Structure 1
Amino acid sequence: MMCKIYNIDSNSLTIDEVENLYLINKSISKKYKFLDPYISSYDYKALYLSSFNGIANELFVLEKNSLIYGMINCGKAADCNGNEQYKLNITLCDLPIDELMLKAINQLVQEKLAQHGEIVVVTYNHELNELINQYNNKVSLRANYYTLKREDIDIDMLNKYMKELEAKTSDLSIKYTDIISEDYIKQFCDLFTETMKDMPDVMEEGYIQYIINPEKQRQINESNKKRNITHNCYMIFNSNDEMIAKSNVSVNNNHTRFPYQFMIGVKRSYRGRNLGKWLYASMYKTLFETINFDRMLVSHHPANKHAINVSEWVGYKLNYLMTTHILYK
């Protein structure tokens, strides 16, 4: 039996080879329950395969006995603060993983680590833990990804809950914005940073804290405007007009199929009042009524039980675990 990894030259692929890779991608997406944005092999080539130039960005195929068992994309990428890293993203088909496959993957990892000195390796659902643990490594991110189908949103339940909670929280008010304007920008960044420090993500040895401040948020606002992205944000304020909770959803207006929910947070002194559910109910009612989407995406650290409970309450279901490892010599 033979198992090897070889580099794909996207410029020299035949129509049949593109179609085959497209079907493999479909199979991998089905296994992990990834959101699949490619509706045809033409889209897959134009939007994905064309990004690999064989130098800065490389696409590798894991092949055993003339069958493709997995795909690995490699290249430079930025972390959450824009710092450049060399990253390997390893996805495997829904087939048994054996020693020959592990040996081939390990050889590629060794080559890239020797070349770069430190690399980031992204794996899924614990399937390569044994291989990764052979190296000096730290976890920088561990995240369960959940999706919410449009048809699973119960609008009647959300309306009922919003009315009940509004009656119990007369000392608080909720506001919506589609951009973090100067009126809110400092409070938003301060609350973002404060609540982020309480997240279980900080437990990870290689955790990289996201840095946000008004200047950076202004740059994000400008970038969103250029890319036609709407930053939907619900914010809760106390009677002193202090922001004490917020929830965010990014929608690409060019392709609205898969909005992304991120960074829900409640100030510590206001927790236990179901404000997370109030934010979610308000947000998903608005998105359901105004955006033609397929599924929503959110990620939570596996230990972030409160956030997971709120997401599952509105209808999110677990898809996969993604782990980002930093390997170093």
Structure 2
Amino acid sequence: MYRIYEINPNDLTESEFNNLYSINCILEHKYNFLHRLNNVNDYKNIFLSSFTNIDNQLLLIEKDSRICGILTLIKTFDWNGNEQHKLTISLCELLIDETLVSFIDEIIKNKLDKYNELSVVTYNNELQQTIEKYTHKVALRGNYYTLNKSEIDVSFLSKYIAEQEIKNSDLSIRFTDIISEDLIEAYCNLFMETMKDMTDVKEDGYVQYVITPEKQRQINESNKKRNLSHFCYMIFNSNNELVAKSNVSINNNDPRFPYQFMIGVKRPYRGRNLGKWLYASMYKRLFETVNFEKALVCHHPDNTPAINVSKWVGYKFSYLETTYNLYKH
């Protein structure tokens, strides 16, 4: 018989802390998540501390004194600032039986009855049939890939960069670690232009991310306060117009896991391998200047060109994450 109960981090014993951390490690192994929390103290201070907030809940599914899954329910906002309640479901079992699925179905129903709308995050389609019985839209669907630093071939990347510089003599590539005022408008324009071609937009519940010069200035300021670096390679044509870019965010307080995001090339310049040129330049620099373990990137499963570029530099598939927006009838 399954049961669910809420955890209050302030009431846990040392043994319970250790048990929860062990479960966290099991989930990391099952889903190929990044190993961000090195020990039980990290788990306490980084993960569990977020559930002292009255709006957030940490829920455990248990059967016969054995934890079968961890659910988190947090109040958050989408990219346009709309409030939402997000339920993330992580299950320890490799094989999920119908009894557990039915139990989770009841949890979802109860939360949906309470909030009227509910954002549900699942992994590797393991609850797809259950979720799709509800009135829903897919907000995000993303394949996550990781790249081990030890598997980067710098000599290959250096050779490729040199070849591209010759083949694309009408173009120039530049690096920056902040989107400066003289580049900010062109950067935002290219960001929005290339975002329209992303396969994410095909999902019914996708919320368009909007970047403006003012928002990018706020991001720049936030990055300074949080000690984040924004590595960006940009390609310019002979008229000094920005035609391609690639971005990586690095947490300088913990640089183990840089995050690659939003590579984009203007349509007239596609087919010239500029994506590979950007990646080769970026990962050569990361290898030489950042003490990282694995880089992370997320692509919509249908974004074949971006996936191919990531695989070309050495990224390997880790897991699929899907966010559904559920609506009460």
Shorter-normalised TM range: over 0.9
Offset of residue 54 of structure 1: 6.7
Residues 30 and 94 in structure 2, CA contact (< 8 A), matched pair in contact too: no
* Alignment match, 1:79: 78
Secondary structure at 2:229's aligned position in 1? strand
Tell me how far apart the structure 2 counterparts of residues 185 and 83 of structure 1 sit (CA, whole Å).
Answer: 26
Aligned partner of 1:78: which letter?
Answer: F
Cα shift readout 1:241-274 (whole Å, capped 9, x = no counterpart): 0000000000000000001000000001100000
Say which is worse superposed, 250-259 or 101-110, in terms of deviation.
101-110
* Alignment match, 1:291: 290
Residues 235 and 242 in structure 2, CA contact (< 8 A), matched pair in contact too: yes
Cα shift readout 1:8-41 (whole Å, capped 9, x = no counterpart): 1111110000100000000001111101211111
Tell me how far apart the structure 1 counterparts of residues 132 and 303 of structure 2 sit (CA, whole Å).
Answer: 24
Q: How does 1:125-274 map to 2 (within 5 A)?
A: 125-274=124-273
* Alignment match, 1:42: 41
TM-score, normalising length: structure 1 = 0.98
Residues 5 and 104 in structure 1, CA contact (< 8 A), matched pair in contact too: no
Divergent runs of 4+, >3 A: none
Offset of residue 82 of structure 1: 3.0
Q: How does 1:110-125 map to 2 (within 5 A)?
A: 110-125=109-124
Tell me how far apart the structure 2 counterparts of residues 86 and 34 of structure 1 sit (CA, whole Å).
Answer: 23
Tell me how far apart the structure 2 counterparts of residues 137 and 64 of structure 1 sit (CA, whole Å).
Answer: 29
Aligned length: 328
Offset of residue 83 of structure 1: 2.4
Aligned partner of 2:129: which letter?
Answer: E
* Alignment match, 2:3: 4
Secondary structure at 2:58's aligned position in 1? strand
* Alignment match, 2:51: 52
Give the share of equivalent positions with the same residue, in percent: 61
Offset of residue 96 of structure 1: 1.9
Change in CA separation of 1:54 and 1:284 when aligned onto 2, cut-off 3 Å = closer
Residues 86 and 118 in structure 2, CA contact (< 8 A), matched pair in contact too: yes
Cα shift readout 1:114-166 (whole Å, capped 9, x = no counterpart): 11110100001010011101100000100000000000100011001001111
Secondary structure at 2:108's aligned position in 1? helix
Say which is worse superposed, 122-131 or 81-90, in terms of deviation.
81-90
Offset of residue 80 of structure 1: 2.2
* Alignment match, 2:104: 105
Aligned partner of 1:139: which letter?
Answer: V
Structure 1, unaligned runs of 5 or more: none
Tell me how far apart the structure 2 counterparts of residues 51 and 10 of structure 1 sit (CA, whole Å).
Answer: 9
Say which is worse superposed, 270-279 or 85-94, in terms of deviation.
85-94
Aligned partner of 1:213: which letter?
Answer: T
Tell me how far apart the structure 2 counterparts of residues 246 and 114 of structure 1 sit (CA, whole Å).
Answer: 44
